[in-house]
Structure 1
Amino acid sequence: MRIAILGGTQFIGRAVVERLAAEGHELLAVHRGEHEPADLVPVGHAHVDRTDRAALADALKPFDPEALVDVSGMNAAAADAALGAVGPSVKLVAISSCDVYRAYDGVHSNRTTDAVPLTEESPLRKRRFIDGPQYENLEMEERYLPRGATVLRLGAVYGEHDYQRRFEFVLRRVRAGRRRIPVGSGQFLFSRVYVGDVAAAVSRALAGDHPGAFNVVEPTTAPYRMFAEQILVATGAADIELVRVRDDLLPEDLSLTGTIDQHLLMDSRKAGTVLGWAPQDPAETLRASVRWHLAHPPDDASADFSADDAVLD
């Protein structure tokens, strides 16, 4: 299948490209050319501003895609440009997030708004642009779903090449040889999914005809303190002590270990039943991901632990 991937060089897009290339599809990665890793699998590239509908259409026309996977459709303008650049026969898959649910607003406004787990029928947000003026998955979904797209709503994605560094709240302290880490109540539930399993869900969506929204997360979720413990075990530093402190004293990068009024626990049974998707063993994918991040520390990792010392003292 000829598949165009909008945003195919970073993290999720990279994993999708690698998965679909291994399956033998003909791929075109469409991006600005700002992030083009040397070790990306060999596929076609088109460097274009994806919000420019005419330029995007010109870039896609010679390739004549049978399917389009939109990893970077962050708002209405991006979605409108993509949908305007392809015909009605092109199969559509779009990456979205749990941030479309009302519960996400609850997390940001310190309110308990919804029962969990969140299903695809759970209430959506009314308040928009919570994460800034460029990011609104609700707008993207409102364009893609009426066109018959398969929309994948992800939880917290982890894995190799994760630029959000979801393990770093523990790993930077492990690298620095810290023996005690302050944590809060540690009960927050935030569904997670391995980036390779996201790529597998994209593959399953392309293989069938299943329009609509699907939650894509692991079936079980460790509360945040247990998540920190799992990361420590994966590093081989399980003897490091997690010290319970008052939530209001937590260093900023440890805030998710504190009390969060609304959980973001999601139910992915629909993806399993309809798409036939299932994640790999989460224990193994977490271990592999932690090992990768230990071997690839960020260049800007902070060595300042004064906030830790203040609360631990």
Structure 2
Amino acid sequence: MRILVLGGTRFIGSYVVSQLAQQGHELYVFHRGETNQNIPQSIHHIYGDRYKLGEYRKEFETIKPDVVLDMLPLTEEDALLVSKTFQGIAKRVVAISSADVYQTFGRLTGFESGQIVETPTSEDGPLRTKLYPFRAHFQQGNIMYDYDKILVEKAFISNSDLPATILRLPMVHGPFDRQYRPYQYLKRMIDKRPYILLDEKIANWQTCRGYVENVAHAIVLAITNEKATNRIYNVAENEAYTELQWVHYISEAYGKWSGEIIIVKEGLLQVDINPEQDLTLSSDKIRNELGFHEIVSIEKGLENTIDWELVNPLDNLNAADYDYELEDKIYQSIIK
């Protein structure tokens, strides 16, 4: 196949491009040229600004891709520009969305009020009723001010002349993850903390996760299988496990921490989410229709992630997130 990737040089995208290259597809990657993370030499680079996609239409017409993969459509405007640019050129677009479209995310973060939503959520589960979930945290002019994957999905789906596949991704971890998802616990293990404190409700909270190579595999399947046309898929690990289990997995993968995980009563630790609301997804649809399965185990994926984070430690730590003095005071109050 002839595939054009918008983005594809950073975290998840680089793994997608690598897997597609291994399958022998003809690959074009459109990006700014700022990163070439693990990009195979066999691919073709097109350097440019995605916000000026229309200026490259003639070049895209020459390539005439079978599928366009958009790794980073953040706003409705992003999606409309991609859809308009490739209409009449590409046969299909695959767009990366997120689990944050669901009502569960609104309930979890407090962005929306209402009753707890039952999980795991399937693709026809209720979506948020309020738009722009991060607008309160950003000024107008910042791309995240207008971020909303619900509008992104609608923009792609509404163009009947360019069929779309939507992939709703989980929390993704792995080498090169700039969100350093296991790090809040790994850092404490590295620092040889004798214990890690977990709020009793956070300990039982469950969310959707995925290791980057497995998530990339799901994206590749959606690109290369025409069955995915005009479909929406959740992507997530089949196993839903609690935050307590997640910390145990991290400890086992790290292998050098002999401390204790201590569950503390609600109210002693700061909790910024509603832990009564899980954020788990059902990935049955993509497994049944496209044959998706994990190609890397949970354990191996975490080992790879931690190995990378040990070599590339997070350098902009928020000191308030690692207030060991406060944690010691809480611990002392518990054991008295």
Confirm or deny a common fold (TM above 0.5): yes
Q: Does the CA-based 8 Å contact 2:9-2:36 persist in structure 1?
A: yes
Q: Residue 300 of structure 1 is aligned with which of 298, 306, 316?
A: 316
- Specify whether residues 59 and 125 from structure 1 end up closer, same or farther in structure 2 by C-alpha distance, changes over 3 A only: farther
- What does the per-residue CA deviation read over 1:40-99, in whole Å, with 9 as the maximum and x for residues that have no partner? 322222222212242242553443322101110111111111111113442211111111
Deviation at 1:302, TM superposition (A): 5.4
The percentage of counterpart residues that share the same residue type is: 28
Question: Matches of 1:62 and 1:93 in 2, distance apart?
Answer: 20
70-79 vs 173-182, greater mean Cα deviation:
173-182
Q: Does the CA-based 8 Å contact 1:172-1:301 persist in structure 2?
A: no
Q: Residue 137 of structure 1 is aligned with which of 123, 146, 149?
A: 149
Question: Matches of 1:274 and 1:290 in 2, distance apart?
Answer: 32
- What does the per-residue CA deviation read over 1:239-294, in whole Å, with 9 as the maximum and x for residues that have no partner? 2111222343325xxx47x8612111111000011111111322322232222222
Amino acid at match of 1:115: E
Deviation at 1:134, TM superposition (A): 3.4
Question: Matches of 2:52 and 2:260 in 1, distance apart?
Answer: 52
- Which residue of the partner structure matches residue 93 of structure 1? 94
Deviation at 1:227, TM superposition (A): 0.5
- What does the per-residue CA deviation read over 1:171-199, in whole Å, with 9 as the maximum and x for residues that have no partner? 11122222211111211110111111111
- Which residue of the partner structure matches residue 217 of structure 1? 236
- Which residue of the partner structure matches residue 104 of structure 1? 105
- Which residue of the partner structure matches residue 284 of structure 1? 300
Which has the larger Rg? 2
Q: TM-score, normalised by structure 1?
A: 0.91
Question: Matches of 1:124 and 1:259 in 2, distance apart?
Answer: 18
Flag structure 1 segments of 5+ consecutive residues without an equivalent.
none
Q: Does the CA-based 8 Å contact 1:187-1:259 persist in structure 2?
A: no
Flag structure 2 segments of 5+ consecutive residues without an equivalent.
136-144
- Specify whether residues 227 and 111 from structure 1 end up closer, same or farther in structure 2 by C-alpha distance, changes over 3 A only: farther
Give the aligned CA root-mean-square deviation in angstroms: 2.1
Q: Show the 5 A alignment for 1:45-60.
A: 45-58=45-58, 60=60
- Specify whether residues 219 and 23 from structure 1 end up closer, same or farther in structure 2 by C-alpha distance, changes over 3 A only: same
Deviation at 1:234, TM superposition (A): 0.7
Deviation at 1:297, TM superposition (A): 1.4
Query: Matched residue pairs, number?
Result: 308
Q: Residue 125 of structure 2 is aligned with which of 122, 130, 135?
A: 122
Q: Show the 5 A alignment for 1:167-206.
A: 167-185=182-200, 186-206=203-223
- Which residue of the partner structure matches residue 39 of structure 2? 40
